[in-house]
Structure 1
Amino acid sequence: MEWEAPVLFFRHALDARGIRTPEDFLPPYRKAAERLGLDNADPAPKTVEGWIYEGRKPQRVFRPVIVEMLGYSIDDLWTEVPEGSPPNFVPLIDASPTALHADAGVELNEMKRTGAMAVRRAKDFLLGADRERVGDDTLGLLDDEVQRLVAVYPREPLSAIWHDLLETHDQVFCLLEGGRVRPSQLRDLYAKGAMLSFLVAKGFNDMEDRHQAMTMTRVAAACARDAEHPGLIALTDGLKSLIAYWADKPEDAYHYASQGAAIAANLRGTVGLWLLGLKARAAAVLGDEETVRTANQQASDRREHVVPDDLDQLGGLFTYAPEKQLYYSVEAEALLGHGGAQLAAQAEQAVMGFSDPTSPHWAFGDLAGSQCDLALIRLHSEDVEGTADAIRPVLDLPSTHRNNGIVVSAMRVRGALMRSPARSAVAVKELRAEIEAFPTSRRALPRG
């Protein structure tokens, strides 16, 4: 009986793009490598034949380019697809099932582009039409856009939403500056200004522009105070803590988290729990195990009494879901250098919490962070192979998703590998080299 290669999703992805042979494969491969800024040599035609016709999994040096080229993780691409069943994998970048079919995709994308231009013209008209005063339709339009941006921020690469975010931010501040706002509308507009400034500040932090991030966070805080919104005020302290945490300033991170936690002490929403989680993570970096335990226990106790508020209803970065609380708790333990089977099981549960992209609380950054934490905990348990398996999906992320927090998380694993008793092992050296190469190209992120 003749052996048949398994039908992989890789073949479906290639077929959808009209790629049938190694000769078809190499031009888009070279373009993907160029986007990543990589100079690695083309795979040999025989190698590509092995991938396409025999189902061989590519060597690690080729994987980032293939991921960039096709928009799916290596694990998804090399998953066998049962005959007769349509593949149902979620792309890592902006790709729809329709767009995978070249002819139909071109037509549909052009229709969307021209339609978006019409919507933009109409929106600009509406925003400028109320020259004497701001109308309810204008505020409703901004409500819709703020809700959309809050929802998509954790789910899409920053480059996909940055223009819309800045434009909406500018529109809100133009209205506030224009003097056309009724007193009854001011508080609502200032709240929108705080939310959008929060997202813009988070964007600058993702781009590793900490000065701009902190400046915009202070703008968000000022708007939150003018809106007289305690939850937003506390939220901006949390963002200051987050910026300091990723900048390796744990003392500042601890200070801002404590300050925000005090403001949120009597609030019933989840912002207070987020601040306690931030406080625990900062304390972990400082080696303060007692505060880690106390803060995480307080957050766990308060979870039982949460009453979702207006920020929780917005979702996105403005709510602190149980999945994220577990992720933060596990990260604090990982930062303390802890390992063991029980903690590894919790870390695996944290990763599973972000395994479904259709979940309302899914965020690619939280998924990558929890995977890096799992890698650290397995390394602390002297499981080098498990460490490599845990961080593999992170290293396979396309350049669009390599924001500052993900890069720092990956570098923490590299640092732990350098301190590991197994640091001289060949497998450890190879993994360290891969992580070192991870942040070298992030061209798809918008510039600060």
Structure 2
Amino acid sequence: MLFFRHALEGRGIRTPEDFLPHYRGAAERLGLENVDPAPKTIEGWIYEGRKPQRAFRPAIVEMLGYCIDDLWTEVPEGSTPNFVPLTGASPTALRADAGVELNEMKRTGAMAVQRAKDFLLDKDRQMVGDDTLGLLDDEVARLVAVYPREPLSAIWDDLLETQDQVFRLLDGHRVRPSQLRDLNFKAAVLSFLVAKGFNDMEVPQHAMTMTRVAASCAKDAEHPGLIALTDGLKSLIAYWADRPGDAYHYASQGAEAAAGLRGTVGLWLLGLQARAAAILGDEETVRAANQKAADRRERVLPDDLDQLGGLFTYAPEKQLYYSVEAEALLGHGDERLAAQAEQAVQGFSDPRSPNWAFGDLAGSQCDLALIRLFGGDVDGAAEAIRPVLDLPVTHRNNGIVVSALRVRQALMSSSARTALVGQDLRAEIEAFPASRPALPRG
């Protein structure tokens, strides 16, 4: 059950009719007008767990006294949540001189910042100003940085809203040529992230459509690196959708386009090519692509995409992870490869690292489990995948679930399938995707 519903029921609120008077009182206290949600909308919040649109959130927070992220957190049945309320949290809570709690000041301040952002974007409706571009620069940089580090549900609304803001600027404003290229670059980056989000939610059709939008914006921005990057994303989508032939085609196409680039995008495309070739059983291509990527690593000159970071750079630890995964997909499991797989996991062991990503960590842990399993070490495989199976549902995206199911598939064809450890592990993996993916609701 969501904490939102738990908090409502604790106040005797169970229907839209019960909800509306309390909501209107909160909206009135905040001075909000014309923000009444429809009964069907309230039903979606209460019974289906849909997260409210941004316009409704301030009144809900005011009404229940908890932040939206806490309210839209699952709590086990029968448990007592221990979220700290935004007001009246404790007699010892930090307070401002006027007696207003610090958390309340932060909440109202955040609302003021959002209003100010909306004002600035609307103010430049005739001609895009430098302040507007700077605001969007900050937001794009933030979203790129947090995407690999936080569950999609935490950033999805902000990502869609920022993409919409950029699209509206491109569609309805007069912009200078230099601004047009910059806005198209931002649109391509944001569309890339939205496409990746749809892939994480296992909606490959939407993911591919949004990738084509990203590719179009990248072409309008005249940015060869971004254009090649969108070929890589098409390959990634096909890879996780179990279409290795398509994945190999798109990766090869992108690798050819990126052959003259000095940033890491070309290396990523070679890594994608190797992984797709591995599923196709083409061991010679796997080795050739990985060796070519290793040779090019020594000549890399970081470009603007690498400076952007996140999904737009291909760090050495990620290159090792991809290389190990290709070998695991070929069914290899010797000691040398096991050591490399352990090194790949170690590369993502520190969340403070700028290149840390929870998805890459989980993927490398699944690869280590596969390789240990192929080497006959079922106990070691169970130990390697344990952190993945313990991930909260908010982090179980499509790629992580598919990676875990690969371990189950390998276990089914292993002699260890009849061992007690193997049977328990298989049962756990089978249950792993049952509640997935805990991503944006509705």
Bucket of the pairwise TM-score, normalised by the shorter protein: 0.7 to 0.9
Find the partner of 1:227 among 204, 221, 225. Answer: 221
Amino acid at match of 1:154: P
Do structure 1's residue 166 and structure 2's residue 163 form an aligned pair? Answer: no
Distance 2:154 2:259 in 1: 36
Find the partner of 2:182 among 180, 184, 188. Answer: 188
Do structure 1's residue 178 and structure 2's residue 178 form an aligned pair? Answer: no
Find the partner of 1:421 among 409, 415, 420. Answer: 415
| Partner deviation per Cα, 1:317-355 (whole Å, 9 max, x = no partner) | 000000000000000000000001110000000000000
Find the partner of 1:118 among 112, 117, 126. Answer: 112
| Partner deviation per Cα, 1:2-37 (whole Å, 9 max, x = no partner) | xxxxxxxxxxxxxxxxxxxxxxxxx9xxxxxxx9x9
Do structure 1's residue 317 and structure 2's residue 311 form an aligned pair? Answer: yes
> Would you say the 8 A contact 2:240–2:399 is kept in 1?
yes
Distance 1:289 1:134 in 2: 52
Do structure 1's residue 326 and structure 2's residue 320 form an aligned pair? Answer: yes
> Would you say the 8 A contact 1:193–1:223 is kept in 2?
yes
Equivalent residue for 2:349? 355
Distance 1:115 1:443 in 2: 33
Q: How far apart are residue 442 of structure 1 and its match?
A: 2.9
Distance 2:162 2:318 in 1: 28
CA RMSD of aligned residues (A): 2.6
Distance 1:175 1:243 in 2: 29
Change (3 A) 1:130 1:214: same
Amino acid at match of 1:298: K
Helix, strand or coil at the partner of 2:319: helix
| Partner deviation per Cα, 1:111-154 (whole Å, 9 max, x = no partner) | 43322211110000000101220000000110111011001000
Change (3 A) 1:244 1:290: same
Q: How does 1:87-98 map to 2 (within 5 A)?
A: none
Q: How far apart are residue 440 of structure 1 and its match?
A: 1.0
Equivalent residue for 1:288? 282
TM-score of the aligned structures, taking structure 1 as reference length: 0.77
Find the partner of 2:368 among 344, 359, 374. Answer: 374
Amino acid at match of 2:163: H
Equivalent residue for 2:53? none
Select the structure with the greater relative contact order (CA < 8 A; seq sep ≥ 6): 1
Amino acid at match of 2:276: A
> Would you say the 8 A contact 1:220–1:236 is kept in 2?
yes
Do structure 1's residue 273 and structure 2's residue 270 form an aligned pair? Answer: no
> Would you say the 8 A contact 1:400–1:443 is kept in 2?
yes
Helix, strand or coil at the partner of 1:423: helix
Amino acid at match of 2:118: D
Change (3 A) 1:301 1:421: same
Q: How does 1:25-424 map to 2 (within 5 A)?
A: 103=90, 104=93, 108-424=102-418
Q: How far apart are residue 196 of structure 1 and its match?
A: 0.2
| Partner deviation per Cα, 1:288-323 (whole Å, 9 max, x = no partner) | 000000000000000000000000000000000000
Amino acid at match of 1:156: E
Amino acid at match of 1:255: H
State the aligned residue count: 362
Q: How far apart are residue 179 of structure 1 and its match?
A: 3.1
Change (3 A) 1:102 1:248: farther
Q: How far apart are residue 425 of structure 1 and its match?
A: 1.4
Q: How far apart are residue 108 of structure 1 and its match?
A: 5.0
Q: How far apart are residue 65 of structure 1 and its match?
A: 6.8
Q: How far apart are residue 424 of structure 1 and its match?
A: 1.3
Listed as ranges, the gaps of 5+ residues in structure 2 are 1-9, 11-46, 50-74, 96-100
Change (3 A) 1:398 1:105: farther
Change (3 A) 1:110 1:442: farther
Distance 1:105 1:153 in 2: 32
| Partner deviation per Cα, 1:84-123 (whole Å, 9 max, x = no partner) | xxxxxxxxxxx99x99x96449955444332221111000
Q: How far apart are residue 427 of structure 1 and its match?
A: 1.3
> Would you say the 8 A contact 1:238–1:257 is kept in 2?
yes
Amino acid at match of 1:444: A
| Partner deviation per Cα, 1:256-301 (whole Å, 9 max, x = no partner) | 0000000100000000000000000000000000000000000000
Change (3 A) 1:355 1:267: same
Equivalent residue for 1:48? none
Distance 1:354 1:109 in 2: 33
Equivalent residue for 1:42? none
Distance 1:407 1:433 in 2: 14
Which 4+ residue blocks in structure 1 deviate beyond 4 angstroms? 68-71, 104-109
Amino acid at match of 1:397: L
| Partner deviation per Cα, 1:395-441 (whole Å, 9 max, x = no partner) | 00001100000000000001001010121112111100001111111
Q: How far apart are residue 445 of structure 1 and its match?
A: 0.5
Listed as ranges, the gaps of 5+ residues in structure 1 are 1-26, 28-34, 38-63, 72-94
Distance 1:65 1:388 in 2: 26
Equivalent residue for 1:430? 424
Equivalent residue for 1:92? none
Distance 1:416 1:263 in 2: 36
Equivalent residue for 2:13? none
Distance 1:287 1:443 in 2: 30
Helix, strand or coil at the partner of 2:391: coil
| Partner deviation per Cα, 1:188-239 (whole Å, 9 max, x = no partner) | 1000000000000000000001111000000000000000000000000000
Q: How far apart are residue 443 of structure 1 and its match?
A: 6.1
> Would you say the 8 A contact 1:207–1:447 is kept in 2?
no
